[in-house]
Amino acid sequence: MSTTELLPNFLGGKWQSGSGAGTPLFDPVTGAELVRVDATGLDLAGGFAFAREQGGAALRALTYKQRGALLGEVLKVLQAQRDAYYDIATANSGTVKNDSAVDIDGGLFTLGVYARMGETLGDKHYLPDGEAARLGKDPLFQSQHILTPTRGVALFINAFNFPAWGLWEKAAPALLSGVPVIIKPATATAWLTQRMVRDVVDAGILPAGALSVVCGSSAGLLDQLQPFDVVSFTGSADTAAVIRSHPAVTQRSVRVNIEADSVNSALLLPGEAAGSESFDLLAKEVAREMTVKSGQKCTAIRRVFVPEGVYAAAAQAISARLAKTTVGNPRNDAVRMGALVSRTQLNAVREGLDYLKAQTEVLHDGATHALVDADAASCCLGPTLLGTRNAAGSDASDRVHDTEVFGPVATLVAYRDLGHALQLVRRGQGSLVCSLYGSDAQALAKAATELADSHGRVHIISPDVAALHTGHGNVMPQSLHGGPGRAGGGEELGGARALNFYHRRAAIQASTTVLAQLGA
Ligand code: NAP
């Protein structure tokens, strides 16, 4: 009989526990059971209606400026509880402080950006969209597009790797837009999301029904969705396919945003010698991306493309950095990389590694890392660099371009010339991000425009921004997050662009005298 706390859900304006025994959440380093979650028997229909009707109406009654001010208050509440969030992340996600920061402080930073945006948008209830356009010869009758908040709920179904950032990068733009939020975090790490929602609810800042959380099974959630609701999903391509084929989407036209998996890449441009500044910047960034959050970032570098002449040197430079990474219990100050989030993930990473190894060589073997304060029963795993050496061979290997191993794993791939490199990058079928390394501004800009159509973001690291750039894998709220094709086709963040998803666009056709009143 389990004795850990059963986390309550907040739905329909009240805290309520599921009626089942609950699914336990574990410490991935010690194996200890931490808390349990359960959503059995909740009145989902009532909860969704409450959020849609009460929460939505109360939020829409406020202006962007007022809602931004509320987000500012929410931020203060969360900042006051930061230590508690770090403790939960250490215990439940197995992350070292720096990696917990990517999730927790990254989430708070993003929330702050949208809180301040409310001030800029001002005391309005809707947003103009472009200029008015004449509809005929007489300029009196024109068309003006406007954006108004959708009269529905925003259902968020999130992945396990960002329980804090994943909540706020979605909730901040939704709430600023005037749309109530129901969040369903991934079960494995639901605790941090639930705790943040609990703190915000207890502080009594947001109107009733504006923010709800359901932890545990996703069963029945999509069935609740009505035509003006939206669903934003982050997770695997397989679950994304289930969501896309749900009647809410196929029959009721519920708007859906999908952030799925992605085989992101890093590309050292031709002509950059081994040991050059750009070469060193690539080696540094690849090693960092492989080890931050144990490679459990949707944006992490999975494929590393280098000219064939520097393949051996790149293998050595990246491996040397990886060898210095201490792996183990995040509570030990000597540890730089903690655990994978669960045994399921550990097994999935091991399987993925075996699958890739059939077409690659092992350049740095994560199994050689001695674990610090953790044993073989923990979910800790050292970083592994794989490689495919000859450029002709990289054409034949398909697995490296198709397989996202969601852990501290990347593959070095040799290319012949830039055309070949661009062709190989595109074999990822659409990614969240690609980073480019080089010192020739013109060549970098040209490569970036070549790759822009298949990426949500192109991150360029030239020596002049070596100390300034924000990191290949860091998602900044000012820039678009999402990617075409395999990456899910979604768009999040990107400054004010994030608000579009939560608004409906309509053309108002009228006399310019009437249109003038729209801005009043
Ligand atoms: P997942 O297994 O697809 O789960 C994601 C979410 O979907 C979880 O909350 C899960 O709930 C829920 N879910 C599972 N089955 C469902 C169903 N039939 N209907 C509705 N919801 C369902 O993904 P994950 O393992 O948590 O996350 C890892 C993946 O996410 C990786 O592939 C990674 O690349 C991707 N990711 C992408 C981004 C991005 O922004 N593009 C960011 C982070 C992660 P339970 O946990 O309760 O099963």
CA of 380 to the centre of ligand 1 (A): 21
More confident call, 519 vs 259: 259
Atom nearest to 262 CA in ligand 1: 34
CA of 159 to the centre of ligand 1 (A): 4
Choose among 49, 14, 17: nearest CA to 224.
49
**463: its two tokens:** 């020596």
Alpha helices in 259-334 (DSSP H): 277-291, 311-323
Q: Evaluate: CB of 261 within 6 angstroms of ligand 1.
A: yes
Query: Is beta strand 141-149 parallel, antiparallel or unpaired with respect to 127-134?
Result: antiparallel
**348: its two tokens:** 């999935």
So what's the pLDDT on residue 19?
97
- Give CA–CA dist 183/186, Å, rounded: 10
Instruction: Determine which one of 169, 215, 259, 492 is catalytic.
Output: 259
Alpha-carbon dihedral 474, 465, 455, 325, rounded to 10 degrees: -50
- Give CA–CA dist 257/360, Å, rounded: 34
- Helix, strand or coil, per DSSP, at residue 265: strand
Query: Is beta strand 14-16 parallel, antiparallel or unpaired with respect to 9-11?
Result: antiparallel
CA of 406 to the centre of ligand 1 (A): 12
- Give CA–CA dist 162/340, Å, rounded: 13
State the residue for tokens 């001695």.
370
pTM: 0.96
- Give CA–CA dist 177/492, Å, rounded: 14
What is each CA distance from 17 to 55, 79, 153, 511, in whole angstroms? Answer: 21, 27, 22, 55
Beta strands in 227-293 (DSSP E): 230-234, 255-259, 265-268
Atom nearest to 235 CA in ligand 1: 30
Q: Evaluate: CB of 165 within 6 angstroms of ligand 1.
A: no
Q: Which tens digit of pLDDT belongs to each residue from 187-241?
A: 999 999 999 999 999 999 999 999 999 999 999 999 999 999 999 999 999 999 9
DSSP 361-404: EEEE-GGGSPEES--TTSSB---EEEEE-SHHHHHH--HHHH--
CA of 18 to the centre of ligand 1 (A): 21
Q: Can you count the helices (H) and strands (E) in the chain?
A: 17, 24
Q: Which tens digit of pLDDT belongs to each residue from 109-131?
A: 999 999 999 999 999 999 999 99
- Give CA–CA dist 327/146, Å, rounded: 53
390: pLDDT strictly greater than 80: no
